Structure 1
Amino acid sequence: MALVLAVVSAVLLGASDFFAARAARYTPSITVTRSAVAVSTVLSPLLLLVVDWRWIGRDVVIAVLSGLSMTTGLLLLYRGYSVARMGVVAPMSSVLLAAVPVVTDLVRGDTPGALGSAGMAIGLLALVLTGYTPSGTGSVRLGAILGVSSGVAFGVAFTLMGEVDEASGLLPVVLQRLAGIAMLTVVGLIGSAPFFAGERRSQRNVAAAGALAVVAIAALQSAFQQGASGPVAVAASQFATMAVILSVMFNRERMRWWQGVGVAATAVGVALMAAGG
């Protein structure tokens, strides 16, 4: 069940990323981030009606730290989308996102079986194949740097999510959103960018990004509570595949042969992780 939730999260995160990237074309990345997080923060209390939850002090601290790290990742990711192609930024981010929890598991001695290990390796390769595009518009170097930085920040956030007790339910997601919007409010006070998206086309995109993100993070939190962090993180990191597929469908970007191989490898990797679990 954990991998199913992780895959659902990947699909929703990919769709959220797609809408955020579209909004970042017309609106400053910090404004896109703040607007999307604001939408998800407003919607997040509804999650408390879905499953039982408890207030656990340790988990509250972890959730806040996770929220700050995740918001940092979003800032870096959306900034990357504004200066480079999604195909440059997304794979860098998603590979590092998956690698941090996997390495953490290995350091702790939590080694998956042969099938699970093969699935994670293929999943990481799939991210590179699916997301890679030859240099085009934008700064490839800066996009790669921002992608790697955002991936590390997301990886730390995901690792922290794996430390939350299942008894906390989805309360950590609500606290993550609150911590994130608080951080973005402070950033907004010292910056000059608009506080929220003003253009109608940007508003529609950030609303979709925020709504999809809160459901995605809720599914991901549940996945981490039910399964090992490494496989869950690798499965969830396949959001880059979904983002690329949507870009091909709606942004008229061409899917190259190696991206098709990457999409197929994504399915194989997730299947092997499921079999190995």
Structure 2
Amino acid sequence: MDSDLYVILFGLASAICWGAGDFSGGIATKRSNVYGVVLISQIIGTILLIAAALLMAEEIPDMQSMFWGGIAGICGCFGLLALYRGLSIRKMGIVAPVAAVVTAAVPVVFNIFTEGMPAGYRFAGFGIAFVGVWLISGTENTRNISLNDLSFPLIAGIGFGFFLISIDHVSDKYILWPLVASRLASVGMLIGVHILKKQHGLPTRNLLPLVILAGILDTGGNTFFALASQAGRLDIAAVVSSLYPGVTVVLAWIILRERIRLRQWIGILASLAAIIFISG
């Protein structure tokens, strides 16, 4: 099987996990403290990754791979905090698509400098994917956007983008232990934020299944992305995995009966078209 096809398949699996995880976590955060939900889900993911690494007897990686895993965790945590902060005080219809598009764009630009330009049809697919993600995520009128509206989603997207780049720097021989290092770094940061901001609220018992599910799915998304980035080009992996908002929207439509607007349907179709271009 062509290596780029593996990248696309793993990238799609990552998008499905991240999209479903955002859906589960989103429901939980509407009923509980955001920081508590994120912290518990990250701890759950850390436990799962350690257990998986031990069960699969994965070799302890070199310090460089663990270092890049830790850097990824710090970048991802910055992105996560900026995203949730932006969602809480800015227009969701601006924050979500800008963060998703910047997340994909950062590795694409990085890869142009490190591995050269992708094929023309793939570059066209990247453009279509960016537009698709914007259309899918937009839920409000995004006219009259100010620079202040863009600050948190830009920080979130840059943080997530460098998370993807850092994970790509991990040695191809390792998957799970560098992700453990990533989670330990992010959990440490979140505990620090909890202490500094005095955010002590934790999810209630009835919300724990949703929080645990969000942690499992987010861990799956990270693992599949690591596999995708090791299988081939980082830019392809980043763009395909960035289609995760479509999964969240479709799940909300199926489970919560939320209406999908015309622009979101167009975005979903554009995302499917982008996958065809990128895989061509």
Compared CA separation, residues 125 and 50, structure 1 to 2 (3 A): farther
**Alpha-carbon distance in structure 2 between the residues aligned to 1:230 and 1:255:** 29
Q: Contact (CA 8 Å) 2:61, 2:178: kept in 1 or not?
A: no
SS state at 1:255 partner:
coil
**CA-to-partner distance for each residue in 1:224-252, whole Å, 9 max, x for gaps?**
11111111100000011111222233344
CA RMSD in angstroms, aligned pairs only: 2.3
Q: Hey, what does 1:205 align to over in structure 2?
A: 210
Q: Which runs of 5+ in 1 are unaligned?
A: none
Q: CA deviation at 1:121?
A: 1.1
**Alpha-carbon distance in structure 2 between the residues aligned to 1:10 and 1:51:** 27
**Alpha-carbon distance in structure 2 between the residues aligned to 1:166 and 1:205:** 32
1:98 aligned residue (92, 95, 104): 104
1:230 aligns with 2:200: no
User: 2:75 corresponds to which letter in structure 1?
Assistant: S
**Scaled by the length of structure 2, what TM-score is found?**
0.89
Q: CA deviation at 1:143?
A: 6.6
**Alpha-carbon distance in structure 1 between the residues aligned to 2:265 and 2:32:** 31
Q: Which runs of 5+ in 2 are unaligned?
A: 1-5
**Alpha-carbon distance in structure 2 between the residues aligned to 1:141 and 1:114:** 32
Q: Hey, what does 1:125 align to over in structure 2?
A: 131
**Alpha-carbon distance in structure 2 between the residues aligned to 1:129 and 1:51:** 43
Percent sequence identity over aligned pairs: 26
Q: Contact (CA 8 Å) 1:23, 1:201: kept in 2 or not?
A: no
**Alpha-carbon distance in structure 1 between the residues aligned to 2:93 and 2:256:** 12
2:119 aligned residue (73, 88, 113): 113
Q: Hey, what does 1:56 align to over in structure 2?
A: 62
**Alpha-carbon distance in structure 2 between the residues aligned to 1:182 and 1:212:** 20
1:31 aligned residue (36, 40, 64): 36
User: 1:269 corresponds to which letter in structure 2?
Assistant: A
1:172 aligns with 2:167: no
1:148 aligns with 2:145: no
Is the deviation greater in 76-85 or in 261-270? 76-85
2:271 aligned residue (262, 266, 271): 266
Q: Hey, what does 2:3 align to over in structure 1?
A: none
Compared CA separation, residues 33 and 95, structure 1 to 2 (3 A): same
